[in-house]
Amino acid sequence: MQKFNITNHYYLKRHVIIIEIKLKKLTLALDMYGCPNRCRHCWVGHSPNGHMAVGDLEMIAAKFKPYAYEFEIFDWYREPDFNDNYKELWELRKQLSDKITPHYELISVWRIVRDNNYVKWLVSLCMTKAQLTLFGGEATTDYYMGRKGAYWEILQAIDILIENKISPRIQVFVNKNNIDELPLIEKLMLENRLSERCIDFGGEFACFVHQGSCDGENAKLYDVRITQDDLKNIPPLLSEYTLKYFHTNNLNDIFGQTEQNLYNKYIKDTSTRSYVEDDPVFFIDSAYNVYPNITTPAPYWCLGNLKESSPEEIIQNYLNERSVAQTVRRKIPLNEIVKQCGNPNSMRLFGEKDYITFLLNQYCEQGYFSL
């Protein structure tokens, strides 16, 4: 049974049954070139950088496009604009997609400090804000980004953005092992007059602190995930910016509640759920494996490989929830997953959705279920 607005037409043509699936919208994101960084908080993971051909983007678009009323394709799901042909890919995306999403407020820091034309191109796309990530001072930021020199490149990128009237937004990931460095970020913001410099050109500086989800590489930071008592150590200015950014007056709306609370809630919850939507986004890695964009593209979420399966088979796998993780969530009651993988004594903070995703991934990773 298909759900939502997904339509199936079965008809006979020269004795062959053709099944036509039409999703309301289908978005594909290819990991064509990977990423220069290896961030420790990276939820999409650290697979090796690939080098897919431009023809792959065209070929994959042509294969999947007939299966959706609206179709869009991206050439990245890790670092945007990482490869030298970023302008060509942008134009190609326009041709291959029914309509493209305006450039996200995400940029390639690696490129902006090496390619003078890049920021001009971002301006030409009417970009007014761009997000960058810091973790504290130089050594800590380099450590978390997995690359020496990343900190200084981020600082350079902030200046380049402001010179070009694009407001930087600093995202800060916080864990127990970098919370003591948050005052350094506050100092950097004040000493560099980031807010005033943005106001000068009619922009607005923004900043927010959060702990991120707990999937992909970030799940390895479970042991240093912050607890309720850490929230008071977030410097006042960073708290103020964070509350403003998320439109709330309570940090727990952002950082969530203790694992213990969530455990006690879900240990009584016998629900299951489906992840099928009528407008899915699929990730395609450089080895042509396809995953639904729900959490980290791990093997237990894989819907198939394009070298072995047709687009229709992959879409059917998604719609019929045949990946291991989809099957687990559809068949295993939540309380069973929590019982196996939750920690009733943990004071770590989680948002509800992130916590369930974390447990589901753990359940699959630890082999509690196989197809």
The residues that touch ligand SF4, with contacts defined as CB under 6 A, are: 35, 37-39, 42, 44, 78-79
Q: Which is nearer to ligand SF4, 37 or 316 (CB)?
A: 37
Q: Which is nearer to ligand SF4, 37 or 213 (CB)?
A: 37
Quote the least distance from Cβ 128 to ligand SF4, whole Å. 21
Quote the least distance from Cβ 43 to ligand SF4, whole Å. 7
142 neighbors 184 (Cβ within 8 angstroms)? no
Kindly list the distances between the CA atom of residue 365 and the CA atoms of 228, 281, 361, in Å, as whole numbers in the listed order: 28, 23, 6
Q: Which is nearer to ligand SF4, 43 or 255 (CB)?
A: 43
Quote the least distance from Cβ 42 to ligand SF4, whole Å. 3
Return all residues near 221 (Cβ < 8 A) that are at least 6 apart: 40, 41, 175, 214
Return all residues near 278 (Cβ < 8 A) that are at least 6 apart: 3, 4, 5, 6, 23, 24, 25
Q: Which is nearer to ligand SF4, 104 or 201 (CB)?
A: 104
Buried b (16+ CB within 10 A) or exposed e, 279-297: bbbbbbbbebbbbbebbbb
Quote the least distance from Cβ 79 to ligand SF4, whole Å. 5
173 neighbors 185 (Cβ within 8 angstroms)? no
Quote the least distance from Cβ 232 to ligand SF4, whole Å. 28
73 neighbors 28 (Cβ within 8 angstroms)? yes
Kindly list the distances between the CA atom of residue 263 and the CA atoms of 50, 82, 275, 314, in Å, as whole numbers in the listed order: 39, 40, 22, 34
97 neighbors 71 (Cβ within 8 angstroms)? yes
Classified as helix, coil or strand, 5 is: coil
The count of other CB atoms within 10 Å of the CB of residue 140 is: 17
Q: Which is nearer to ligand SF4, 118 or 363 (CB)?
A: 118
Q: Which is nearer to ligand SF4, 35 or 298 (CB)?
A: 35
211 neighbors 203 (Cβ within 8 angstroms)? no
Quote the least distance from Cβ 198 to ligand SF4, whole Å. 23
Return all residues near 185 (Cβ < 8 A) that are at least 6 apart: 134, 136, 170, 172, 207, 238
Q: Which is nearer to ligand SF4, 215 or 321 (CB)?
A: 215
Return all residues near 268 (Cβ < 8 A) that are at least 6 apart: 335
Quote the least distance from Cβ 127 to ligand SF4, whole Å. 18
* Among the listed residues 176, 189, 190, 172, the one whose alpha carbon sits nearest the alpha carbon of residue 136: 172
Quote the least distance from Cβ 322 to ligand SF4, whole Å. 27
Q: Which is nearer to ligand SF4, 6 or 52 (CB)?
A: 52
Q: Which is nearer to ligand SF4, 225 or 329 (CB)?
A: 225
Quote the least distance from Cβ 38 to ligand SF4, whole Å. 5
